Structure 1
C-alpha cells in the first residue's frame, strides 16, 4: 500500500457485495474509509427494513473494523480510527412503495443514498433498459422529500429522460454513483458525453465504475483501463466532480446475477452480463491500493488523486446531507 493511499480519504461510491466478515476485512485491507453499501434493489419496504437490521447487526458485531455513517464527520472519524464507514444505500426507490413518509423513516434509519430506478420502470420514473417516459409526478415529490431529509439522489441505472428531469428537479446535487462513458463503449448503462456534462453543469457528481461489461476491453481490462475511463470523464467535466464507485459484487454467485438482471427480480430477463471478471489488478476490494498506484503511474498529481479517491465524494455528501 503506497503512503499516499494509506494517508488519503478513500470512499467507494458503490459496493453491492454479499455482506460478510470476509468482505468487511477486505475493505480494511483495501484501506477504505467508507463505502456506499447497497441494502435494497428489488425488495419492498418490509424486506428492506430487514436488510438494514441485518447490516446494522453486522456493524455492531464487527465494531472493531466498522462504523455506521450518518454524517461526513462519521467518515472522518472512521478514517481516524482505522475503520470503514458503512453508508446505507439503495439501488432502487422501490422500497419507498407509494408512501412519501417512508423516505423520512429510511433517513432516520441511516439511509443516505437512493437510486431512483433500477433498470426498468417504477412509480418514480424509468430505468435505462426500456422506453423512458421521464419522471412521474410522484417522482418529483420523492426527489423533493429526499432533498428535505438529506438522502442523495442516484441516477446510475436510470433512463436518460428521467435522469435529465431529476437533475433539473433536485435542489441538491445528484449523482451517477457508478457509471462509465459511452464514448469508450456503447452500452445502455453507459452515459454519453452530453449526459456527463449535463449532470456536472448542474452541480451533480459522477462516480466511475469498473464493472467489466461496461468497460471498453471488458474482461480483458486492467486497473489501468479503469484509470483511463476516469480520465476520459475528468477531461470532459473537470476533476472536482468525479469520484470512484467500483460496483464490486464480491461473494455473489450466478444466482445473484440472475436475480438482479430480471425485471423486479423475477420476471423478464433484461440483460445478460456473461462472465464477470473485474479488471486485473483490482479483482477484489482488498486490491484497492493498486488503484492509487495506477493513478500515480498515469501521472496524476497528488491533489487530483486525493480528490477522486474520496475528498470529492465527502464534499458532495456534505452538500446533500447537510452535516
Structure 2
C-alpha cells in the first residue's frame, strides 16, 4: 500500500512539476510577464480521491496567482497615477441633486437613493479609491439645447460645482492644472482633479470666454458634442444621409484651435467628424487628445476613430483615451471587458503603446461592460493586459505617463507661443444662421 502511494505521488509530481517550478519562481518574474498558470487535465489513472486532492491543490494555486496579479497591478497604480480622461459626475449631480452638495454624501452612493438605482451612477469616493484612480478629468457638460442660449452660464455653473465638491471633500480631492501638479497631488495620496469642458458651444462662439475657461482651470475643451457648432462639424454628420456644414473646421474654428494652443489648453476631438479631426491635426501645433473614444476598425461607430486618423494622431504625439460605452465598444447594447481590451490592443498594434489612455465616460452613459461597471473596476483592465504579456512600461503608459507626456508637451507649446498676443477675432456674423441669433443683442 505504501509503495502504491509513492508511485501515485510520483505521477502527481511529474504532472505538476512545470506549475510548481513556475510558482516557485513567481517572486522573480518581471512585472510584464503573464502571471496565470496553465493547467492541464488531471491524469485519469489517478484514484478518484487522490485526483480530487490534486484538483483542490491546483485550484488553490490558481487563486494565489490571481491574487498575485491584482497585487502587481495595485503596486503599479501606487507608483503611477491612473488618469481617467472623462467623467460626467458633475452633470449627474445637477440632474439628481440640482447641484446641491448638501443633499447627499459623495463618500458612498452605492446604496443611496436615487443614485443606487440610476444606470448612469458609477462614481463615489469609496469606488474611486478601490479603483486606484489617481487623477480624474471632471467634465463641465452642457447639452446641445443650450447652444445659442445659456450654454456659457451652464458651463460656468458646472465648473463652480466641480470647485465646490473639490473643496468639500478636500481630504480626497485637490485641483491640478499641470502635469507636475498631477504628480504632486498624487504624491500626497489625494486624487488630482482636473477640469474639461465638453462641447465647444459652451464658449458661446467667444474667444474671450475660452480664455476665461482657461483661467478657471479648464485644461481641455471638446470641440463639439452631439451637435455641430457654427465653426466645427460633429461626428453625427458622418452618418449616412447627413451633409457636412463646414466640411471640418471653419476659418473661425481654426482660430479656436490656435488660441487653445496659445493658452495651453488641450484640444479634444472626441465627438467631432472625421473631416474636423483632419483639420485639427493640420492646424494644431500641440498634441491633441480623444478624451473618450474607441477604434473604428473594432466597432464602426461614428464616435470612434479610423485607423488613418490614429496614425496621424501618433505623428502628432497625441493620445486616444478608450471609452467604456457599450455601443462604442461592441456596436451593440451589451459588451464585456474583453471588448475594451480589443480596442486597446488594436490601437497598440497599430500605433504603439505611447498613444493610449483610459477615458471611461462614467456617469455619462447608461450601458457599460461586464466586469467594468463602475470606477472601482479599473484594475481589471490591467490584470487582463498583464495576462496578455504587457510590459511594466506599457502598463504605466496606459495608466498615466502617456497623458503626463501630452500635457507637458502642450505646456511647452504654450511657452513657445508666449510672445504671441491673444487672438482678438470675432466669429463672422455670416457664420451664424438666423436661428443662431435669436438670443443675441446688438450690443457691441
The TM-score normalised by the length of structure 1 is 0.87
Aligned partners of 2:232 and 2:170: how far apart in 1?
A: 38
SS of the aligned residue for 2:235 comes to: coil
Aligned partners of 2:182 and 2:332: how far apart in 1?
A: 32
Return 5+ residue gaps in structure 2 as ranges: 1-69, 94-104, 109-122, 238-242, 415-444
The answer for the alignment partner of 2:139 in structure 1 is 38
SS of the aligned residue for 1:227 comes to: helix
Counterpart pick for 2:277 among 154, 157, 163:
163
Q: How does 1:1-323 map to 2 (within 5 A)?
A: 1-2=70-71, 3-17=75-89, 18-19=92-93, 21=106, 22=108, 23-25=123-125, 26-42=127-143, 43=146, 44-130=151-237, 131-132=243-244, 133-216=247-330, 218-249=332-363, 276-322=366-412
Aligned partners of 1:57 and 1:202: how far apart in 2?
A: 35
Q: Deviations over 1:109-146 (max 9, x none)?
A: 00001010113210220101023321011111111111
Q: Retained in 1: the 8 A contact 2:85–2:321?
A: yes
Q: Retained in 2: the 8 A contact 1:94–1:122?
A: yes
- Quote how far apart the aligned CAs of 1:219 are: 4.6
- Quote how far apart the aligned CAs of 1:217 are: 6.7
Q: Retained in 2: the 8 A contact 1:39–1:52?
A: yes
Runs ≥4 residues deviating over 6 A: none
Q: Retained in 2: the 8 A contact 1:117–1:124?
A: no
SS of the aligned residue for 1:316 comes to: helix
Return 5+ residue gaps in structure 1 as ranges: 251-256, 258-275
Q: Deviations over 1:299-321 (max 9, x none)?
A: 21111100111110111011113
Q: Retained in 1: the 8 A contact 2:142–2:154?
A: no
Aligned partners of 1:204 and 1:288: how far apart in 2?
A: 22
Change (3 A) 1:307 1:157: same
Moved more, 131-140 or 220-229: 220-229
The TM-score normalised by the length of structure 2 is 0.64
Bigger-Rg structure (1/2): 2
Q: How many residues align?
A: 299
Aligned partners of 2:274 and 2:160: how far apart in 1?
A: 33
Q: Deviations over 1:227-255 (max 9, x none)?
A: 221010111111111111111126xxxxx
Q: Retained in 2: the 8 A contact 1:28–1:65?
A: no
- Quote how far apart the aligned CAs of 1:107 are: 0.4
Aligned partners of 1:75 and 1:108: how far apart in 2?
A: 18
Aligned partners of 1:72 and 1:27: how far apart in 2?
A: 20
- Quote how far apart the aligned CAs of 1:201 are: 2.1
Aligned partners of 1:52 and 1:210: how far apart in 2?
A: 24
- Quote how far apart the aligned CAs of 1:46 are: 1.3
Aligned partners of 1:237 and 1:50: how far apart in 2?
A: 39
Q: Deviations over 1:153-197 (max 9, x none)?
A: 001100011110011111111111111112112111111111211
Aligned partners of 2:405 and 2:316: how far apart in 1?
A: 16
Aligned partners of 1:321 and 1:123: how far apart in 2?
A: 28
Aligned partners of 2:200 and 2:206: how far apart in 1?
A: 11
The answer for the alignment partner of 1:273 in structure 2 is none
SS of the aligned residue for 2:254 comes to: helix
